[in-house]
Amino acid sequence: MNLWYGGDYNPEQWDPAVWKEDVELMRRAGVNLVTVGVFSWSRLEPVPGRYEFGWLDEVLELLYGGGVRVDLATPTASPPPWFSRLHPEAMPVTADGVRLTHGSRDTYCACAPAYRDAAKGIARALAQRYGDHPALAMWHVHNEYGTTCYCSLAAERFREWLREHYGSLERLNEAWTTAFWSQGYGDWRDVEPPRKTQYLVNPTQYLDYRRFWSDELLAAYREQKNVVREYSELPVTTNFVFGGWVPVNHATWSAEVDVVAIDHYPDEAGIGAEEQTAFGADLARGWAGGKPWLLMEQAAGGLNVGRRWHPKEPGRMARNSLSHIARGSRGALFFQWRASRGGAEMYHPAMVPHAGPDSRMFREITELGSVLPRLAEVAESNVVAEVAILWDAECWWGMQGTHLPSSELDYLKAVRSAHRHFWRAGVTVDFAAPDADLSSYRVVVVPSLYLVSDETVAKLTAYVESGGELVVGYFSGVVDPDLRVRPAFAELLGVRVEEFHPLADEVALASGGRGQLWAEDVQAFAAEVVDRYAGGVLDGKPAITRRQVGEGTAWYVSTELDDATAARLVGAGEPVETVRRRAGDTTWTFRINHSTQDVVVPAIGVELVTGQNVDGELTVPAGGYAVVRSSAGAVGGRAGAAAGSQRRR
Ligand code: GAL
C-alpha cells in the first residue's frame, strides 16, 4: 500500500481549465489522494432539493484519469445561505445569548432537527450518486466537528442527555453539588446550558455540557456515516480538530471512525512546532489505539496563527510530514491543494501557492512526493514506545472551569511539557486513555490528572503492583468524575497533599533543580522523599517522593519542573528526532534532523530515501531526514536507546 499524499482540493473555486492543470500538477507532485467537496454544499445544492452534480462528475473523472484517488467529503460544516434563511432557528447561539448569522462557516446548531435532516439529505444524495465511483478511496464526513451552541433546542437535548445520564434530579443535584448557592433543581425544565451568568458557573454543569456535546456531535456524525454505509463499503472518517474549544472526546470517537484522521497546525514557531508536531501525531496514534492513522491536513508553508506569523523554513514541511509518518500516519495531506484567489483563507499556504508551480513551495512538495513511495513499506508497522502518558479529555474539560485554585493550572500545558521532556530526551511516547491496557509500558506518566475515576486509580495501582513505574504529576487525583473532592492517589503514592501553593516565582529544590507555577505542602506518610523544597514557606518539605508498591514504583512530583530539571531526570537528547517502527524482525528507524548541522548516527541496514546500504554510520543532513530499514539486532533495540550514542559533527 502506498502512503497517501495530497490535500483538500476545492475545484469549485476555479474554472474547468484550471482543473486540467491541477491534475497535471498533481501527477508531477506525486499526489495520490485529494479531499473533494468539503465546502461545496452551495454548489451541489444551489436551491433546496435541486442538485447539480455535473461539475463534480467531471472533476472525479479527471482525477480518476490522472491516477488521483478521492476522499469524498460531505459538505455539512458549511450549510448554504438558503439554509440559514429558511431555518433561522438552526443558527447557533453563543454562551452570552447572541444568535449568529450567516457569513462564515460552521454556523449552525447541530441540535437543530432542520440541520440534521439537511445534513443527512446532502450526504444521501452524494452517497447515492458516487457510492460506487471508482475514484473514491474513502469518505470524509463533515469537517472538524467542534461547534457548540447554547440555544433552546440544545437546552432541550441537554436535558434529555442528563435524564439518561443521571436518571433522577436527585442524582444530578448531588453530582452538581447544587446545595451550594441555592442551585437545587426541583424541575427538569429549570436545567439550562451553562450560559453566561452573573458570576462563576457551576463547574460540573460546564463539564457535563462538554460531555453532552461530544455525544451529540458523535450522533450527528454517526447518522451521516450510516447513510453513506447504505451505498458504500469504503472507509468513513472525519477529520479531528484539536483545541481547548473543541467539545469532542476524540478517544471515544475513535471507535466510530474507520481510520483516525487529524488536522494539525502547531501554534508555536521554531523547535516548539517540531515538538507539537510529535505531540499531535502521538496523540492521534493513541486515539487510534496504536494502529495507523492519517494526517488529513497541515499547512504547506508559513501561517498566521493567533495573529503571529509562523514561518515554515525550507525543509520544515518535509520534516514535519516525516515526523507524522514516523509516528504512524499513513501519509501526509494538506489544506489545501491550490491557494485561493479570494475568500477568508486566501493567504493560507497551499501546495500550489499564488506564485504557482515555479516556487520553492511546489518544488519542496514535488520532492517530498517523490520520496514517499520509497517509504511505503513502513505503513503496516508499529511504532515502538516504552513510555506512555495518560491523556483524558474529560480531565482537560474539568480543568477548564472557572473554579480552580490558580488560573495558571492548565492540563494541556502539563501534558505537553511531560511530552516535551521525553521528546527532548529522544524517547518516543504513546498516549494512553485512562482505560487503555498499560501492561506493555515500562513507565507511565500521569500529568495533572485532576479528575480521575476510582476505576482508573485501581488500574494504575495494579500497573505499579505488577512492576510498572508510575509518575504522577501535581494536582492529580483531586476530584472524582462529578468534580467532587476526594484524595484519590494518597494510598498508592503514600503522600497526603495538605495545602496548595500556587507559585508566582520559581521555587528551588534541595537537589539544585527548580519548580515553577505550582507547589504543594506534601506529607509523605508512607513514601521516601527524593527531593525537597529549599527556601520559602515549604522549605524542607517533600517535593518529589517515591514509593515501592508490589513489584513497581510510584512517584509523585508536586511541582512543575522546569525544562533543565526535567532534563536531568529524563535525560537530554540530540537534535535528531528518532522514532522506531517494527514489524516482525524488521525495524525502521526514522531520523529527522532539526538542526543546522549534519549529524552522524549509528546505523546498519538500507537507507530508504537514497536506497543505499549503511554499515555502521549514517550522516543525517542538516534539516533533513533518513529512514533506515534493518533486520533484528542490527540496531540497538529500545526506543531512544541509540540517542546516547549519537554524536554531533
Ligand atoms: C482547518 C480547516 C480547513 C482550513 C484550515 C486552515 O482547521 O479544516 O478548512 O480552514 O484549518 O488552517
CATH number at residue 339: 3.20.20.80
Q: Return the percentage of the chain with pLDDT > 70, whole number.
A: 97
Residue owning grid cell 512546532: 273
Question: Does residue 263's CB lie within 6 angstroms of at least one atom of ligand 1?
Answer: yes
Residue 439 resides in a domain: yes
State whether the beta carbon of 297 lies less than 6 angstroms from ligand 1: yes
Mutate to test the pocket of ligand 1, among 140, 238, 310, 345 (most ligand atoms within 8 A of CB): 345
* pLDDT at residue 643, rounded to an integer: 34
Q: Are residues 544 and 606 in the same domain?
A: no
Ligand 1 centroid – CA 512 distance (Å): 45
- Torsion sign over Cα 190, 195, 196, 201: positive
Q: How confident is the model at residue 306 (pLDDT cuts 50, 70, 90)?
A: confident
Give the chain's mean pLDDT. Answer: 95
Q: What are the tens digits of pLDDT across the range 89-128?
A: 999 999 999 999 999 999 999 999 999 999 999 999 999 9
Q: Which residues share a beta bridge with 4?
A: 331
Q: Do 500 and 372 share a structural domain?
A: no
* Domain carrying residue 82: 4-148+234-378
- Whether 12 and 65 share a structural domain: yes
SS3 8: strand
Write down the pLDDT at residue 307: 79
Residue 420 Cβ contacting ligand 1 at under 6 Å? no
Distances from the Cα of 383 to the Cαs of 266, 291, 586, in angstroms?
A: 22, 9, 12
* Claim to verify: residue 256 and residue 356 sit in the same structural domain: yes
Cβ atoms 471, 444 nearer than 8 A: yes
Nearest CA residue ID for atom 3, ligand 1:
335
Question: Does a structural domain hold residue 639?
Answer: no
Residue 640 pLDDT > 80: no
Where is the domain boundary, 378, 403, 422? 378
Nearest CA to ligand 1 atom 11: 335
- Check whether residue 262 and residue 328 sit in a common domain: yes
Closest C-alpha residue for ligand 1 atom 5:
335
- Among residues 570, 595, 614, the one where a domain terminates is 570
* DSSP code, position 249: -
Are 71 and 86 part of one and the same domain?
yes
pTM reported for the whole predicted model: 0.96
Measured by CA distance, the residue closest to atom 4 of ligand 1 is 335
Alpha-carbon distance 535 to 500, whole Å?
16
Q: How far is the CA of 339 from the centre of ligand 1 (A)?
A: 12
Give the number of residues written for the chain.
649
Q: What is the pLDDT of residues 445-490, one digit of tens each?
A: 999 999 999 999 999 999 999 999 999 999 999 999 999 999 999 9
Distance CA 427, CA 410 (A): 24
Annotated catalytic sites, by residue? 144, 297
- Residue 272 falls within a domain, yes or no? yes
Do 290 and 401 have their domain in common? no
Class of residue 615 by CB neighbours under 10 A (exposed 0-12, middle 13-18, buried 19+): exposed
Domain match, 137 and 244 both: yes
Do 305 and 417 fall into the same domain? Answer: no
Can you give the pLDDT at residue 641?
36
Q: Which of 144, 335, 338 to mutate to test the pocket of ligand 1 (most atoms within 8 A of CB)?
A: 335
Is 86 within the bounds of a domain? yes
Residue 39 CB less than 6 A away from ligand 1: no
Cβ of 345 below 6 Å from ligand 1: yes
Distance 197 CA to ligand 1 centre (A): 32
For residue 622, what is the domain's CATH number?
Answer: 2.60.40.1180
Residues 474 and 600 both lie in one domain: no
Residues 305 and 394 in one domain: no
**297 alpha carbon to ligand 1 midpoint, in Å?**
7
Residue 325 lies in a domain: yes
Q: Give per-residue pLDDT as tens, 401-429.
A: 888 999 999 999 999 999 999 999 999 99
Tally of domains in the chain? 3
Is the CA virtual torsion 189, 190, 194, 196 positive or negative?
positive
Residue 335 beta carbon below 6 angstroms from any ligand 1 atom: yes
Share of the chain above pLDDT 90, in %: 93
* Ligand 1 pocket residue status of 10, Cβ below 6 Å: no
Say if 504 falls within a structural domain. Answer: yes
Quote the pLDDT of residue 633. 63
Asked whether residue 506 carries a pLDDT value surpassing 70, the answer given is yes
Distance 413 CA to ligand 1 centre (A): 23
Compute, in angstroms, the gap from residue 144 CA to the centroid of ligand 1.
8
241 lines ligand 1 (CB under 6 A): yes
- 587 part of a folded domain: yes
| Rounded Cα gap, residues 456 and 472, in angstroms | 13
Looking at residue 45, its amino acid is: E
Whole-number pLDDT of residue 636: 45
For ligand 1, mutation pick of 143, 263, 333 (most atoms within 8 Å of CB): 263
Residues pairing with 592 in the sheet: 577, 625
Nearest to 131 by CA among 39, 228, 10, 221: 228
* Helix and strand numbers, DSSP H then E, in the chain: 17, 30
**Residue 137 belongs to a domain:** yes
348 in ligand 1 pocket by Cβ < 6 Å? yes
Mean pLDDT along residues 136-149: 98
Please identify, among 524, 539, 570, the residue that sits at the C-terminal boundary of a domain. Answer: 570
- Residue 335 CA to ligand 1 centre (angstroms): 6
* Helix 411-425 / helix 271-287 crossing angle, nearest 10 deg: 100
Instruction: Answer yes or no: is pLDDT of 1 > 90.
Output: no
For the domain that residue 429 is a member of, what is the CATH number? 3.40.50.880
Neighbours of 194 (CB within 10 A): 19
Which residues does 362 contact at the CB level (< 8 Å), separation at least 6? 25, 29, 351, 352, 353, 356
Residues 412 and 508 in one domain: yes
In this structure, what DSSP letter does residue 95 have? T
Tell me, using a 6 A CB cutoff, whether residue 144 lines ligand 1.
yes
